[in-house]
Structure 1
């Protein structure tokens, strides 16, 4: 670190995958990274959802009460599991980590940690992640609870980083050496970002979103690129299944993703969600807008089952150089500075306007 960088950073760590689950579960990355930060000498506090909360964006469940517990993870734990869960805190034993698990969204965890659990201005840095899966491009980032928690921290005036480790085809699950390299590389990037800073005024960066591909490149010759965020879209995210009370229902009908978000699972067989908008079937407008026949004979029941093969495994010729999506699919780490705002876009060309007035 430079001489201006505090020797011991006060870091708030949160995520959207929940407490440590081990390598085969929904949250395998947060514990090794948390341990790496502690081993590097930093003062780390961990506040995460009590269960997997992927793909909720920056949501707050304002009609629900948020409760929490304390988890004490022993030093000799290999994956962060097996700790003691308590309703009230106790003194930590040597080498033990104290985690706070909240029944809430990732953004809720960030907000409560910054404004309720700890004194004001307690942290130098908020890190959300490492996410179990990538958060490259707008389609993933705008749905991401990892990015959402970092946005919530930024809107509270904190320096925030959203960190994601991308699971790549051919390396699922990633070997241990990838995770060791990802921890070391992520720590170095976060440390350098802290040195660079977030800027001031109109030029301030609210969140740095960092995507690390779990590929041999990060072990052999890691490359880090400054990128912009690729513009992407998705199509079908849900599928219709028989209602649980239906005579056609079966145990296999309730498909759900419980091991990370959609970016953490293998690509589906079809590429229906290519980002293109569905077109009409060539019949009349009334027929186009009619509810499908299948929904007229069965009760409505849908499960989250995204068909996003084109997002997860794009064709290389479709990738735009300089974007986060291009970087991760060519084996490089992407660092993308973003704003915690709905930024304005230019009005479409040809709109009749008189100065700022729109002539309808």
Structure 2
């Protein structure tokens, strides 16, 4: 029986241990081609390089041939689909170093952004992210995170195996999977929480006395039951179905009344 084909990408860069953990999880159950950004591209969302050329070349990583793309995660997906003509059955993005939870996070996440781009181009996609205990891991060298990926690898393999065997869920464009740093429960199908961080801005002065700013803020403590954030805080594996259609259909009647009135 022919193995399914997977395009594997990420936003932490082609050197990330999370990317290669996902490769190890999938390589014996499907044909995996790695097409990933050449450098760290976290928090770039779905931005696409349309004002500059994109360079992509084959490299050898851990004895495996892969494509390093000088651009964003979305660029890597588009290069894989159209320049390399891979025709994957599924795009897998991750394993991201750090959770991608809530409206706030998925709108900026390069991991989820790559999956959304794949879905927009007609290929179903799954994004995988691993919770980190130390938030500093998100900003350190992705080749040497302190986190273990052993449990996350099992989740990647199991989730993708279920999709290959049973098909991708209808009315879903992307499946966003978040794995707790320590799994204490099973799968929970969730909705997105509203926020992940308590946003703040820190003002500092450079050596010449001129101000500059850092956007920062700690994680919130929790979110309401049924959300992805709450599931992760409870030690469960969060599975969130995401759609590309951002239309607020429940607002159509109110909008129609608003714009049907004569001024």
Q: Give the TM interval when normalised to the shorter protein.
A: 0.7 to 0.9
1:68-87 deviation digits (Å, cap 9, x = unpaired): 2222123xxxxxxxxxxxxx
CA RMSD of aligned residues (A): 2.8
Which residue of the partner structure matches residue 198 of structure 1?
Answer: 168
The 1:69/1:239 distance shift into structure 2, 3 A limit, reads farther
Q: Does 1:224 align with 2:187?
A: yes
Q: 1:135 aligns with which of 75, 91, 100?
A: 100
Once the 2 structures are TM-superposed, how far is the Cα of residue 151 of structure 1 from its aligned partner? 0.5
C-alpha separation in 1, matches of 2:13 and 2:256 = 50
SS in structure 1 at match of 2:83: helix
C-alpha separation in 2, matches of 1:7 and 1:63 = 39
Q: How many residues align?
A: 256
Give the conservation status (yes or no) of the 8 Å contact 1:353–1:359. Answer: no
Q: Structure 2 regions of 5+ residues with no counterpart?
A: 138-144
SS in structure 1 at match of 2:157: helix
The 1:175/1:339 distance shift into structure 2, 3 A limit, reads closer
Structure having the higher strand fraction is 2
Once the 2 structures are TM-superposed, how far is the Cα of residue 306 of structure 1 from its aligned partner? 3.2
Once the 2 structures are TM-superposed, how far is the Cα of residue 101 of structure 1 from its aligned partner? 0.8
Q: Which has the larger radius of gyration?
A: 1
Q: 1:182 aligns with which of 152, 162, 172?
A: 152
SS in structure 2 at match of 1:142: helix
Once the 2 structures are TM-superposed, how far is the Cα of residue 333 of structure 1 from its aligned partner? 0.4
Once the 2 structures are TM-superposed, how far is the Cα of residue 149 of structure 1 from its aligned partner? 0.4
Q: 2:216 aligns with which of 271, 290, 307?
A: 307
Which residue of the partner structure matches residue 111 of structure 1?
Answer: 78
Q: Structure 1 regions of 5+ residues with no counterpart?
A: 1-5, 21-26, 75-95, 249-297
Which residue of the partner structure matches residue 208 of structure 2?
Answer: 247
1:57-103 deviation digits (Å, cap 9, x = unpaired): 000121111112222123xxxxxxxxxxxxxxxxxxxxx31111111
The 1:34/1:343 distance shift into structure 2, 3 A limit, reads same
Output aligned runs, 1:59-78, within 5 Å.
Answer: 59-74=47-62
Once the 2 structures are TM-superposed, how far is the Cα of residue 342 of structure 1 from its aligned partner? 2.0
1:165-199 deviation digits (Å, cap 9, x = unpaired): 111369x76554xx212101221012213434334
TM-score by length of 1: 0.64
Once the 2 structures are TM-superposed, how far is the Cα of residue 118 of structure 1 from its aligned partner? 2.1
Once the 2 structures are TM-superposed, how far is the Cα of residue 326 of structure 1 from its aligned partner? 0.7
SS in structure 2 at match of 1:19: coil
The 1:349/1:16 distance shift into structure 2, 3 A limit, reads same
Which residue of the partner structure matches residue 341 of structure 1?
Answer: 245
The 1:350/1:31 distance shift into structure 2, 3 A limit, reads closer
SS in structure 2 at match of 1:328: helix
Q: Does 1:160 align with 2:125?
A: yes
TM-score by length of 2: 0.86
Which residue of the partner structure matches residue 123 of structure 1?
Answer: 88
